[in-house]
Structure 1
Amino acid sequence: MPAHKQTTYTIHPIVMGTKVFDKGMMTYQHDYGTPYTIPIYTWYLKGGDKTILVDTGEMQPIVSPDRELAIGGPIHTFEEGLALHGLAPRDVDVVLHTHLHNDHCENDYKCANAKIYVHQKELEHIHAPHPLDFRYLEDYIEDVEENGQLVVLDGDTDVLPGIRMIHTPAHTAGGMSILVQTPDGPVLICGFCTILENLYPPIEVRAMEMDVIPPGTHLDVNQAYDILVQAKSLAPTLLPLHEPRYAAMDVIPADPNS
């Protein structure tokens, strides 16, 4: 019998929001006091027989020339971003959540036909957040929860052919990284809010015998460090959730980090 052909996907980053803040919010113990603009992505996974998104971005993104210049690419509303690929919110079959901080799930309610995959600890935290974690706002998931759209996970799970969700609680308790099989090999969409510098630090950081920089927002900094190190062994290509250089890309190339 012929070997079964593996389902593969192309990965399309779509900017659906931005944040402007201190760079230290990304890079723990480094570059505090440096203004920094991050893109907020929805990742469209094109392949197979379903329309799949990773996260859904901001509901009402601020669109300005300054912010677009800072990230090097255009900012879209949810509807505009999907329309670039001939899609509308009703066409979305699956949403895979890295976590449920508001900027990653504000458009969930628009995806009325989608199954939405999320770790159970994210649901626990969004309904009863610690006062320090103001980024959880349950309003954004109440509709899809009431509609029975959530698929709740409690660990690593093969959710679709060629797609595995892996529990990586570096940034939040239920953070899930998405391992995607592409024509160029496996790619890991990180389940924690970082930029490339977190995973591939500059020489002055590596000189301190640090292999990664933990995310500026984390639960346990030592655990976060170890999870980032482990993530680098899961795939040859990693996509940090807020790296600006992807903002100008229509599709992630074989080596987007070069």
Structure 2
Amino acid sequence: MAKGPFYRIHPIVVGTKVFDKGMMTYQHDYGKEYVIPIYCWLVEGADKNILIDTGLLEVIKSEFRENAIGGKIYTFEEGLAKYGLSPKDIDIVIHTHLHNDHCENDFKCINATFYAHELEFQTAYNPHPLDYRYMAEFIEEVDQAGQMVHIKEKTFEVVPGITMVHTPAHTKGGMSVLINTEKGLLGISGFCVIMENFDPPAKIKAMGMEAIPPGTNIDPYLAYDQIIKFKNMVDIVIPLHEPRFSSVETLP
């Protein structure tokens, strides 16, 4: 039996995006409107307050968006307040990657240490025109203040039982987060996908595909392999933008 510490994770919806489903599912379901939740994930069980990503700064709330994801949308402050916390109470922020929708509230966490892969900083500060999802202004001051840890390793243990693993698929420096829980090893993907990417519909499996790469990726072949590798690495798969967790209070 696995040894502790064991953690629990609270998904908090801090924004949404309405776009073409093909932004999630490479080569499939283009032309279908789809709403994804933008999460930050509060990890319970450590002696520190730990978040994975910080979500969007400007949050649009509407009945349409909440019905589409099946859960409530919060501002960053509202989401943390559910658990008796404020941004200044956060000790650690683990970043899956540094696209703007995952780090816009970083500056509010004035007492936090942040962890992200070095390749994410390189891209954010010197982006290719295709990398328009990076907005360095959301991380630059925090980085200059010395709060950002630039990870260069393929695996990095943040605290006992919580490990970041380099999974370049959606971005060059994408880091998936492996978390020890009482029900096994839970993995939050470091790439922007939904559950369908890990468990494709029958028509996709009939084509011999075990997975669907992220709709936005650095290399579709590499991304496909990373999804398979990640799925085999953990007991519980948590895709970064799966809507079903919008109505879930605690994982696993």
TM-score (norm 1): 0.96
1:57 partner amino acid: G
Superposed CA RMSD: 1.2
- For residues 23-68 of structure 1, the C-alpha deviation after alignment (integer angstroms, 9 at most, x for no partner) is 0000000000000000000000001201000000000111111100
- Secondary structure of 1:209's match? coil
1:117 partner amino acid: Y
Q: Does 1:113 align with 2:119?
A: no
Unmatched segments (≥5 aa) in structure 1: 254-258
Which whole-Å CA distance do the structure 2 matches of 1:238 and 1:169 have between them?
17
Offset of 1:109 from its aligned partner?
0.3
- Aligned residue for 1:239? 238
1:200 partner amino acid: D
- Secondary structure of 1:233's match? helix
Which whole-Å CA distance do the structure 2 matches of 1:81 and 1:59 have between them?
12
Offset of 1:252 from its aligned partner?
1.7
Offset of 1:142 from its aligned partner?
1.3
- Aligned residue for 1:256? none
- Secondary structure of 1:68's match? helix
1:170 partner amino acid: A
- Aligned residue for 1:218? 217
Number of positions where the alignment pairs a residue of Structure 1 with one of Structure 2 = 251
1:81-230 paired onto structure 2 within 5 Å: 81-155=79-153, 156-230=155-229
Offset of 1:158 from its aligned partner?
1.1
- Secondary structure of 2:232's match? coil
Offset of 1:133 from its aligned partner?
1.2
- Secondary structure of 2:17's match? strand
- Secondary structure of 1:134's match? coil
- Aligned residue for 1:22? 20
Offset of 1:147 from its aligned partner?
1.1
1:56 partner amino acid: T
- Aligned residue for 1:46? 44
Identical aligned residues as a percent: 56
1:66 partner amino acid: F
2:169 partner amino acid: A
Runs of 4+ in 1 over 3 A off after TM superposition: none
1:182 partner amino acid: T
- Secondary structure of 1:246's match? helix
Offset of 1:88 from its aligned partner?
0.3
- For residues 105-150 of structure 1, the C-alpha deviation after alignment (integer angstroms, 9 at most, x for no partner) is 0000000000000000000000011101100000000121111001
Which whole-Å CA distance do the structure 2 matches of 1:192 and 1:72 have between them?
22
Offset of 1:5 from its aligned partner?
5.5
Unmatched segments (≥5 aa) in structure 2: none
- Secondary structure of 2:37's match? strand
Which whole-Å CA distance do the structure 1 matches of 2:201 and 2:84 have between them?
39
- Secondary structure of 2:233's match? coil
- Secondary structure of 1:158's match? strand
Which whole-Å CA distance do the structure 1 matches of 2:36 and 2:3 have between them?
37
- Aligned residue for 2:73? 75
Which whole-Å CA distance do the structure 2 matches of 1:200 and 1:231 have between them?
13
- Aligned residue for 1:36? 34
2:136 partner amino acid: E
Which whole-Å CA distance do the structure 2 matches of 1:153 and 1:181 have between them?
21
